[in-house]
Amino acid sequence: MERSAGFFDEMFGVGETPRGPYGNYRQWIDNEDPAQLRRKAAEAEIFFRRTGITFNVYNQQEAAERLIPFDVVPRILSGREWARLARGIEQRVRAINAFLHDLYHRQEILRAGRIPIELIAQNEAFLPKMIGVKPPGDVYTHIVGVDLVRTGENDFFVLEDNARTPSGVSYMLENRETMLKMFPELFARIQVQNVSDYPNRLRRSLVKCAPDVCTGRPVIAVLTPGIHNSAYFEHSFLADQMGAELVEGHDLRVVDGRIAMRTTRGYKPIDVIYRRVDDDYLDPLNFRPESMLGVPGIMDVYRAGGVTIANAPGTGIADDKAVYSYMDEIVEFYTGETAILKNVPTWRCAEPDSLAYVLEHLSELVVKEVHGSGGYGLLVGPAASKRELAEFTRKLKARPGNYIAQPTLALSTVPILTKKGLAPRHVDLRPFVLVSPNSIEITPGGLTRVALKSGSLVVNSSQGGGTKDTWVLEE
């Protein structure tokens, strides 16, 4: 395999012999015919296309539906590696929920002076309408996707806490299904922890968060912006797998203090809404008046305890990139423990000293918009042209508070299958976390995103990234 210097490869480490977790797999693949593997990879693509596992690309009329490229080489973590990650994730998610509860109630953390008031008060992601609201079961983030990157044997960093409506779990599930179909013999040989019960767990988790007004079996619905949304496949997939209704805003209305869906026999109340619509669009009466995606009055029903919204409105304040830089303090404040998972060092450009440093070292850093996502509005310094650097210098000076900067991490690589054989590519990992009253469950594995272009550090599917099946080994 070709090697790229200076990066930690998860299959080989920094040497020539495969690392422990990959030993068994390596033996298998060495005996496989590469041409046969490539044929299987092509089959996988047909399977994805037929099943309709596609995503929509905005602003591209012709290629409206695209496949996320799938690579057949799994990303493998040992059971021990995973156990440590899982502990760190659980701690972090626990802290995030406590943080959200605190911010929307007594704001102890602000009173204690552990994070600056301006960080919250002037933050668009903070939702004053949530102050004093008690979400059913006291759960704010029912579903979290924590983005992790790795730079060495024991070095994992949290890149982002997706606490709003993290997507990608359908790929985690379909990637595994595809691998099981293509390489059944591999799973007989290597014991991999199961992920397929995620939809069931999600359902159970949402049921436990049903509001008190619900007396019978809770009715669950997935709220989607509609078939043109980039993640529509996932919305319908999850509804289907959970046996939940898939609804759009115009299927719903407020009836007798409940949210009800229009059925062929009239309106019927819903207890739990797993919404995949952003806060801003959720309720035209309370937020953006022009929104056609939401339900007028849903916030009033929510505040009165008539429905559960998952995730709760206003959770965006916890995954805001400026707030992110305080996560160590936040974890310590609410759990009394030191954070198990490290944060990437972050410069808040709102602070004059940091801004000065960032401007001076721009070509070494990654600059992100505080509220951005999906790899849009991002500057990767080492890969940027002079013009791009100049443009970002201008942007940073104009609105410093809109940006944070981080060192360019030496992301680990995992091999992908190319025409010339295995070749290392940079990866990240998004495990999925389910929160219900008294329990936090993490599906072993998650979604591994991989930058398919040699040397690229951007793994987002909107920017040409692909995915891999992620294996956590049984120990």
Partner 1 sequence: MLGKTAGGLFWMFRYLERSENTVRLLDAGFRIALTRSSSSRNEWESIVTTAGVRNQFREQHDDFNSVNVIDFLLRDKQNASSVVSVVNAARNNARLVRTALTREVWEATNDCWLTLQKSLARPVREKELPDVLASIRQHSALVRGALHGTMLRNEIYDFARLGTFMERADNTARILDVKYYLLLPSVSLVGSQIDNAQWETILRSVSANHAYRWLNGGDINPTGIAEFLILDRRMPRSLAFCYAKIMDNLGYLAADYGEELECQGQAARVRSRLDGCTVGSILESGLHEFLGDFIRDNNLLGELIERDYRFCD
> Which C-beta is closer to partner 1: that of 267 or that of 357?
267
What residue ranges bind partner 1 (CB under 8 A)? 49-52, 227, 232, 236, 239-240, 245-248, 250-251, 253, 261-266
> Which C-beta is closer to partner 1: that of 78 or that of 241?
241
**Smallest separation, CB 262 to partner 1 (Å):** 5
What is the C-alpha separation between 295 and 255, in angstroms, rounded? 12
> Which C-beta is closer to partner 1: that of 236 or that of 462?
236
**Smallest separation, CB 460 to partner 1 (Å):** 24
Nearest partner of 472 among 440, 417, 432, judged by Cα: 432
Residue type, 368: K
> Which C-beta is closer to partner 1: that of 295 or that of 366?
295
**Smallest separation, CB 240 to partner 1 (Å):** 4
**Smallest separation, CB 360 to partner 1 (Å):** 50
Q: What is the DSSP string of 161-173?
A: EE-S----HHHHH
> Which C-beta is closer to partner 1: that of 233 or that of 326?
233
Reading the block at residue 380, the tokens are 């990767």
What is the C-alpha separation between 353 and 16, in angstroms, rounded? 44
What is the C-alpha separation between 435 and 145, in angstroms, rounded? 11
> Which C-beta is closer to partner 1: that of 175 or that of 343?
175
**Smallest separation, CB 251 to partner 1 (Å):** 5
At 462 the three-state DSSP class reads helix
**Smallest separation, CB 54 to partner 1 (Å):** 10
CB burial string 405-439: b at 16+ within 10 A, e below = bbeebbbbbbbbbbeeebbbbbbbbbbbbbbbeee
Residues 198, 343, 393, CA angle at the centre, nearest 5°?
Answer: 115
In DSSP terms, 430 is beta-bridged to 447
